[in-house]
A and B are shown apart, each in its own frame.
Chain A
Amino acid sequence: MRIVILSSSVYSETACALALRAAEAGHVPVGALALRTLDRGTVLRKLGQWGVRGVTHYARNKFLPHRRDGQSLVSNPYLETVLKHRDGVFRNLREVAAFHRFPVATCKNQNAPDSIARLKAWSPDLIIFTGGNILRKPLLEIPRLGVLNVHLGCLQEIRGMSAPEWSLLQNVPVGVTIHFMDEGIDTGPILQKYELPDAARSGSLSDLRNRLIAFGIDKIAEVIAGLDQGTIHAKPQSDLDRDNQFFVMHEWLQNQAARRLTMMRLPVDAAHG
């Protein structure tokens, strides 16, 4: 199976971990296409999402030499095992690509003609999206099977942004959905849906999000195998008339979601003594 990875940056831990898991399962990617790291939109978005401190911390781990002070070099601790490499970790897609020998290209826009041409040259069976632009039809039509996305929520109930947080407030099971992408927002055919076991054990919203990302990466290997063997088939979503799109959650509501997570944890903690 010829797999290509789309990423919002060569420094994306999710993209690195996904490439490594695919390679581990016998599907070394045939290429990866990432947005330029200093893409203005991405930098602004990350500043908005993580704040200056979060972005600085992330950049320090990515750009400065390995530290040996015992501090984690990975932002998402649940990816540390898969990213482990010699006495450190893979810190970017170029390092992963050099190890597994596949090409990495960068672009300004994943939908741009030169990006499309490059992707076509790789003639992928499957593209796995880990971040970047909203994908347009010409790109979506390139791979033989489709473009896969791991959505951090259960479709069809929660589409769009802040899915784990909205799941908590909407009383929807917390989990991931692996689906083919179409031109809508999380409206493409569903391959598999997985509930996160013991979601309530998450210590915080960011912990929950990190767990979901790692969980989704583990599950995507199963889906790739299923697609390869023809045992998994996509089912179109039936509930497209219902507008289930959610948007980035405001801080105040995030606090309520965190409170909900704490409330969910109480009986679990009690049961575990």
Chain B
Amino acid sequence: MTDFDAAIPEKEDRGSAPPSFAAKALTEATGLLRAPQRVFPLIQKLASDRVRTSFEQKHLYSFATTKRSSAVTLDLVFRWIFTAHRSDGGIAAYYSLLTGYSESYPEVTGYLVPTLYEYARVSGDDGAAVAAAERATNWLLSLQTPTGAFPGGLHGREQEPSVFNTGQILQGLVRAYRETKRPEVLASAIAAGDWLINTQQEDGSWSGPSAYQNAPHTYYSMVAWALAELSEQSTDHKYGAAAERNLDWVLSHFRPSGWVEGINLRGHPNYLHFIAYVLQGVLECGILRRRSDAVHAVAKPAWVLLRKFETNKYLPGAFDADFKNGPHFTCLTGNAQMSCVWLRLFEMTDDLRYLNAALKMNEMLKQMIPARGRPGIVGGVSGSYPIWGRYQPLRYISWGGKFFADSLMMEQRLTQSFETSALKELPCAS
């Protein structure tokens, strides 16, 4: 079985029965009939991944040498992102090898805003990234409902408010306000924050009709991170308090093995993408709220995954409980997110082993980015490797590009600061 929509859970219909797998697959496949010119790139990608998976040999020294420049790859990834920017102002969720570009996706457009501003800063960009961020922000402002919530799903398909998407978009609004100081952006962020607080449960979680499958999820720690970001821009303490309420609830789901319960996606495996969401949200929220317990809690699962990656040079795309290996494919987005987590942990703890793992992970990911091909493919981050893997098969996804760009920019920042600072004593964290 393949999960065509697994990474976009909020766009699945919450009331009626979702379309069957066969129906989804058929819809996707008919895309080729509408655009037969996509057949060649599809066959090419399938063949190249088949050859690569058959002959690729991993060993102790895999990914330990630089084969492709991070700066060049970063430009390639942004080329993909700019091309995916739709005329309505939003950024497409994905480019499918079967159906081409999807509609704009508010959630990812929102959390691509900070990435765009960051790229403008590190690349000395001529304004294209800032212009893209501003266009995306304006589009998002037009989508907000009077309650302050943002709709879930792809643009134009669903208008139901979504906690997760509102949180992700809030991240973009906060950054846009920091960059532009536009009062209407702050007002929009505050309205979103207020709506999130109003829908939060007493225990700190979010459930009910605005939560995916009506259930609470630990990966909503990403929402807590967004609220913590908002609290930095507001004198009102309630946003920080709400973020910490959720943080405490998520932390209660961390197990001594490092495993995190409560991802809670019915009908989907525990994709690395969602595990990494939990870790990123807790870590970033913990850093902003100066909660060392949160940083320590994340260090455990991050280390478990680091050991797995260093030992096997590979992270499975999904895990069974307690990090037991799942199906044999890798989720590139989850890999990029783990790189971000390791880099941040390096920053927090000075443990160079996190930096070492992130450098190697980025090396692995760089080798997966197509340097040539048609728009939608060149610079794209595929859902899975191999491309037919269970997570977002046959698609290049915008949130994959977002997290990989984040990790490359963080790598650049941290390696530059390491090089320029005098080499000093760097104690081990563990």
Chain A residues proximal to chain B, CB less than 8 Å:
40-41, 44-45, 48-49, 161, 166, 169-171, 242-253, 256, 259-260, 263
Task: Please classify how large the interface on chain B is, using the bins under 10, 10 to 19, 20 to 34, 35 or more.
Answer: 20 to 34
- Chain B 408-430 near chain A by CB (<8 Å), digits 1 or 0: 00000001001100010111101
Give A197 to B356 CA distance when docked, in angstroms: 28
Contact in complex: B57, A44 (CB < 8 Å): yes
CB-CB under 8 A from B303, the residues of chain A are 243
Please name all residues of chain A whose beta carbon is closer than 8 Å to the beta carbon of B423 when the two chains form the complex: 169, 256, 259-260, 263
Among the stretches B58-66, B101-109, B220-228, the one at the interface with A is: B58-66
| Interface hits, B299-329 → A, CB 8 Å | 303, 307, 310
Which secondary structure characterizes the binding site on chain A? helix
Contact of A247 among B66, B310, B419, B425 (CB under 8 A): B310
Which B5-57 residues have a C-beta within 8 angstroms of A? 57
Partner of B64, one of A40, A41, A44, A48: A48
Partner of B426, one of A170, A243, A244, A245: A170
Q: Which residues on A sit within 8 Å (CB–CB) of B268?
A: none
A248 and B60 in contact (CB under 8 A), knowing A171-B425, A253-B359?
yes
Known: A252-B66, A256-B418. A244 touches B359 (CB 8 A): no
Contact of B359 among A166, A169, A246, A252 (CB under 8 A): A252
CB-CB under 8 A from A247, the residues of chain B are 310, 353, 356-357
B399 to chain A, nearest CB (A): 26
Q: Scoring B residues 348 to 391 as 1 if CB is less than 8 Å from chain A, else 0, what string do you get? A: 00001101110110010000000000000000000000000000
Report B336-352 CB contacts with A as 1/0, cut-off 8 Å.
00000000000000001
Task: Write the chain B residue with the least CB distance to A169.
Answer: B352
A249 B430 Cβ-Cβ under 8 A? no
Looking at B303, B307, B359, B428, the one whose CB has the most chain A CB atoms below 10 A away is B428
CA distance A161 to B61 in the complex (A): 10
A48-B59, A256-B423, A260-B423 are known contacts. Are A242 and B355 too (CB-CB below 8 A)?
no
User: B48: shortest Cβ distance to chain A, in Å?
Assistant: 21
Of chain B, the residue at the smallest CB distance from A161 is B60
Please measure, in the bound complex, the distance between the C-alpha atom of A33 and the C-alpha atom of B355, giving whole angstroms: 38
| Chain B residues in 8 Å Cβ range of A48 | 59-62, 64
**Quick check: B359 and A250 within 8 Å, CB to CB?**
yes
Please name the residue on chain B nearest to A185 by beta carbon. Answer: B311
What is the minimal beta-carbon distance from B423 to any residue of chain A, in angstroms?
5
Inside 8 A of A251's CB, which chain B residues have their CB?
64-66
Minimum CB distance partner of B306 in chain A: A247
Docked Cα-Cα span, A248 to B60, in Å, equals: 7
B363 with A250: CB separation less than 8 A: yes
Other than A169-B423, A251-B66, A260-B423, give 17 A-B pairs with Cβ distance below 8 A.
Answer: A45-B59, A45-B61, A48-B62, A49-B61, A161-B60, A166-B352, A245-B307, A246-B353, A247-B353, A247-B357, A248-B60, A248-B61, A248-B310, A250-B356, A250-B363, A251-B65, A253-B359
Given the known inter-chain contacts A243-B303, A250-B363, A256-B419, please indicate yes or no for A169 contacting B426, CB distance below 8 A. yes
How many whole Å from B164's CB to the nearest CB in chain A?
A: 34
A252 near B426: Cβ-Cβ < 8 Å:
no
Chain B CB within 10 A, most for which of A41, A171, A242, A252: A252
